[in-house]
Amino acid sequence: MECQECHQRPATVHLTQVVNGQKTEIHVCEQCAKENGYMNYGEEKFSLNDLLSGLFHSEGPSPFKGQSPQTYPKKETLKCPNCGLTYNEFARIGKFGCAVCYETFDDRLNPILRRVHSGNTRHDGKIPKREGGNLHLKKEIEEYKINLRQLIEQEEFEEAAKCRDKIRSLENELHQDEGGEE
């Protein structure tokens, strides 16, 4: 039997996968099995990366489900313009290549991040002093707004008024900041 991937070498790896009662058989050579991730080789330890890339792949169609040999493997063309890392490579190594990769793969990141970080997708921590720019100001405004809502609920209107004025003055500051940059 020849390998269904390369159609050159004999198939030495035979896989049977049953998904929802549907049986799929895959017959490939060792090399194609390795390339397509059907096999874990002894010398490559199962690492966190493997686990992670497993997560990434599960985003797309499963490599087995409803695949006919002709359409597999699916081609990925998404590529980071800055460092040249493709989404496929990212999924394989489980690592980003540069800061721009985060923008490049943005559409696909939320499900991955949600899995890794217990449902979270947005940063809620420290903002760097220089790089953060006016984010500090924005964050401060957000915090005052939350505070304002609480004060209104507690019917502490005097305090709420002070809080509202503070938000206004911070927002003015923010607008001046943004105006100044242009």
Partner 1 sequence: MSLKQFINEAISPWMKQEGPDSDIVMSSRIRLARNFAEHPFPIIAKEDTLSKVLAYFEENFQQTSFRDYKDFELVRMRDLQPVEKRVLVEKHLISPHLAEHSENSATLISQNEQVSIMVNEEDHVRIQLYFPGFQLDKALEQASQLDDWLEEKVDYAFDENRGYLTACPTNVGTGMRASVMMHLPALSMTQQINRMIPAINQLGLVVRGIYGEGSEALGSIFQISNQITLGKSEEDIVEDLHSVVKQLIDQERKARETLMHRSSIRLEDRIFRSYGVLTNSRIIESKEAAKCLSDLRLGIDLGLIDHIPRTILNELVILTQPGFLQQYAETSLSPDERDVRRASLIRERLQLEHKE
- State the residues that interact with partner 1 by CB under 8 A: 48, 52, 82-83, 85, 93-99, 102, 109, 112-113, 116-132, 135
The least distance separating partner 1 from the CB of residue 25, rounded to whole angstroms, comes to 34
CB atoms within 10 A of CB 7: 11
Residue whose CB is less far from partner 1, 152 or 170: 170
The least distance separating partner 1 from the CB of residue 94, rounded to whole angstroms, comes to 7
Residue whose CB is less far from partner 1, 15 or 83: 83
Residue whose CB is less far from partner 1, 116 or 161: 116
The least distance separating partner 1 from the CB of residue 119, rounded to whole angstroms, comes to 8
Side-chain-side CA neighbours of 90 within 13 Å: the count stands at 24
Residue whose CB is less far from partner 1, 47 or 150: 47
The least distance separating partner 1 from the CB of residue 122, rounded to whole angstroms, comes to 5
Residue whose CB is less far from partner 1, 65 or 95: 95
Q: Measured on CA atoms in the order 27, 90, 86, 112, is the torsion positive or negative?
A: positive
Tokens 């979270």 sit on residue: 120
The least distance separating partner 1 from the CB of residue 100, rounded to whole angstroms, comes to 9
